[in-house]
Amino acid sequence: MIRLLVLSICMLASGGWLRAENGSRLWLRQDTTANATVKCLLHSPVLDVAQAELKQTWKSGPVSLQLFSDAEHTALGREGYTIRTSGNETVLGASSEAGLLYAAYHLLRLQAMNADTRSLHISEKPAYDVRILNHWDNLDGTIERGYAGHSLWKWEELPATVSPRYEAYARANASIGINATVLNNVNASPEILSTAYLQKVKALADIFRPYNIKVYLSVNFASPMVLGKLPTADPLCKEVAEWWKTKVHEIYSLIPDFGGFLVKANSEGQPGPCDYHRTHAEGANMMAEALKPYGGIVMWRAFVYSPSDSDRAKQAYLEFQPLDGKFLDNVIVQVKNGPIDFQPREPYSPLFGAMQHTPLMVEFQVTQEYLGHSNHLAYLAPMWKEFFTYVPSSSIQAVAGVSNIGDNTNWCGHDFAQANWYAFGRLAWNPDLTSETIAQEWLSQTFGTDPKFIQPVEDMMMRSREAVVDYMMPLGLHHIFAWGHHYGPEPWCTIPGARPDWLPSYYHQADKEGIGFNRSHTGSNATAQYPEPLAQQLDSIDTCPEEFLLWFHHAPWNHQMKSGATLWDELCRHYERGVKEAGSFCQTWNDAKPYIDAERWNAVAERLQIQANDAVWWKDACLLYFQKFSRMPFPKDVSRPVFKLKKLMKVKLPISNYECPTPEMLPQP
């Protein structure tokens, strides 16, 4: 009772009642009691959703939904739309139902943001036809690199029992333009293609369809052997190709709008065509032929790094670039944004631009495998925008995001991780949107529209990814994470018998001369995989952008940086800046307290404190360890270590690769 009273007083102190919230409503928090006048002469499952959304939520004059076949709307494609004010009416127009659904969500977003909706003249068209989430969800309910609980898909209950969250998931995606989802992990169990599982997949596809969302599956290349009991999965074997054709036929008889397959082959132990001395193209094309008659596609991943070259960063290019032009036209090669693996900062993968005759799509990681899991606030739109500054958005065919969604009440673990789901959808729709615009949209819908709240919190979000880079891996350092779970720092990590390219020392190469991976022409020559003049710029230690210095160069500890400082001093200052930034986020959040309900404020405050502590942990671990090589003192303006290296080297988090550590597990300053 007393708690309730205190809570009420706190909430009223801000000038209004802030209802306790648990984050489950995401950015879709508007009142649903509007009873608007919505005119629409047609009926269909998609149009019914659009109408219902408007009817419940739209608070202004009448809205009319109209299908047009004129040149303007035809040019906007199947999913584009217009929103126009005509007299006192708002007219949503599109050439198809899907366009009207997106128009409805756009209009409601404007209302949620308190935008002026009295005179609208809007035309929208998505940049990509496929805007897809990749769930790394296992059939046993765990999620590889998922930090928000268990899988949303309750396979053991499906198809008989259907959770209301499936529809809520579809609705959230549709509201931000995501139109496709891969339900299961790329490390795929063949079981997903069994008839029993396909029935479960069908149940989900049926729920998602009215939200214009297509279902795709990750498939295991050896499925014909495991499920079909064939002696081989050789893509050139007739029986194997037949097996896939029959399976695809079965899938489409259940799910007529099935999207297609995502395939991780010959990577990290997964089977693939190379097991039979066939190429990735031969493997992909065999599946593509099976899917082609139904309009399905194959998304074939280029995340490969067989130890054939001494530099992991070069391997995807070496294996895939020679296959340019050899894939069928319903194959899209899916390439991670960077050449290694979703590090806090990577240069773009040189495969982009190097396969002019092959459709490519980018894979971003929304889940924060390498960015503090669901404990750290890292707003990722700036990272993805950075990719698009190097790779023209028009040069790729589609965008995939590895999902950060689980069955936690607030979907993503950290309330601010919802912003990354949101930003992924918005950027997949329109990569030209600014990170700031997306942050403002998300904040005002998720928390409230008061500029006194939005401005400082948006600023915090905008600085957050760089802060993570600074306290984890500045100046191009990469992959110095703890073994396996990738949460904390372990630049010293050695595991007897482990692949060298799974160990931090392979990447940082610290020695008494300097630090960093020499990928210039005097080293692995990875710089030559980039087009000119960028290749030359990256190749020279003098012209390489400093944020990539240690990615491409083994730089001496006393290398003079642009600031005039030595590399060592500059490195120390980056770590220091990261720590300060993370600390300042706690302050910003304190100031934001009056504007937010207590439940979400507390949840975020707790995590920001973890992040601030972890930043100190990262700084001390990395600097104390690297100091053993540099033998240089910390600059005066850098705070002294709080932890002892010896102690930090003993930290072993009792977590697996699908858990987020709790505060008690983490080293405390």
Q: Nearest approach, Cβ of 283 to ligand GCV (angstroms)?
A: 16
| The residue type at 556 | P
Given a contact cutoff of 8 angstroms between Cβ atoms, the answer to whether 435 and 396 are in contact is no
**Catalytic-residue membership of 324:** no
Angle value at C-alpha 467, between 465 and 473, nearest 5 degrees: 90
Q: Give Cα 558 distance to the centre of its chain.
A: 37
Q: Nearest approach, Cβ of 267 to ligand GCV (angstroms)?
A: 6
Q: Nearest approach, Cβ of 280 to ligand GCV (angstroms)?
A: 15
| The residue type at 384 | W
**Residue 496 burial by Cβ neighbours in a 10 Å radius (0-12, 13-18, 19+):** exposed
Q: Nearest approach, Cβ of 348 to ligand GCV (angstroms)?
A: 17
Q: Nearest approach, Cβ of 629 to ligand GCV (angstroms)?
A: 27
Given a contact cutoff of 8 angstroms between Cβ atoms, the answer to whether 481 and 504 are in contact is yes
Q: Nearest approach, Cβ of 301 to ligand GCV (angstroms)?
A: 7
Q: Nearest approach, Cβ of 413 to ligand GCV (angstroms)?
A: 17
Q: Nearest approach, Cβ of 361 to ligand GCV (angstroms)?
A: 14
Given a contact cutoff of 8 angstroms between Cβ atoms, the answer to whether 329 and 320 are in contact is no
For 114, other C-beta atoms within 10 Å of its C-beta total 10
Backbone angles phi, psi at 393, to 5 degrees: -60, -25
Token digits of residue 538: 């990256």
Token digits of residue 289: 């032929």
- Collapsing DSSP to helix, strand or coil, 667 comes out as coil
Nearer to ligand GCV, 275 or 341 (CB): 341
What's the CA gap between 222 and 402, in Å, rounded?
23
Token digits of residue 155: 């396979």
List the one residue out of 317, 390, 321, 323 whose CA is nearest residue 547.
390
Backbone angles phi, psi at 274, to 5 degrees: -65, -20
Nearer to ligand GCV, 186 or 204 (CB): 186
Query: With the C-alpha atoms ordered 379, 479, 342, 25, is the resulting torsion angle positive or negative?
Result: negative
What's the CA gap between 497 and 505, in Å, rounded?
14
Nearer to ligand GCV, 187 or 536 (CB): 187
Task: Choose the catalytic residue: 369, 441, 597, 614.
Answer: 369
Q: Nearest approach, Cβ of 358 to ligand GCV (angstroms)?
A: 20
Nearer to ligand GCV, 135 or 463 (CB): 135
Q: How many CA atoms lie within 13 A of 2 on its CB side?
A: 0
**Catalytic-residue membership of 144:** no
Locate all alpha helices (DSSP H) within 292-412, ordered by sequence. 312-320, 381-390
Task: Choose the catalytic residue: 242, 309, 324, 341.
Answer: 341
Interface residue list for ligand GCV (CB under 6 A): 136, 144-145, 185-187, 264, 268, 303, 341, 369, 657
Task: Choose the catalytic residue: 268, 432, 513, 606.
Answer: 268
State the helix-helix crossing angle for 435-446 and 381-390, rounded to 10 degrees.
Answer: 160
Angle value at C-alpha 337, between 334 and 340, nearest 5 degrees: 100
Token digits of residue 135: 């769930």
Nearer to ligand GCV, 481 or 548 (CB): 481
Given a contact cutoff of 8 angstroms between Cβ atoms, the answer to whether 384 and 444 are in contact is no
List the one residue out of 433, 188, 420 whose CA is nearest residue 299.
188
Residue indicated by tokens 């054939």: 308
Nearer to ligand GCV, 175 or 343 (CB): 343
Nearer to ligand GCV, 53 or 346 (CB): 346
Token digits of residue 377: 């606030």
Nearer to ligand GCV, 369 or 441 (CB): 369
Q: Nearest approach, Cβ of 363 to ligand GCV (angstroms)?
A: 8
What's the CA gap between 139 and 151, in Å, rounded?
9
**Catalytic-residue membership of 659:** no
Nearer to ligand GCV, 369 or 620 (CB): 369
Nearer to ligand GCV, 97 or 369 (CB): 369
Catalytic residue ranges: 268, 341, 369
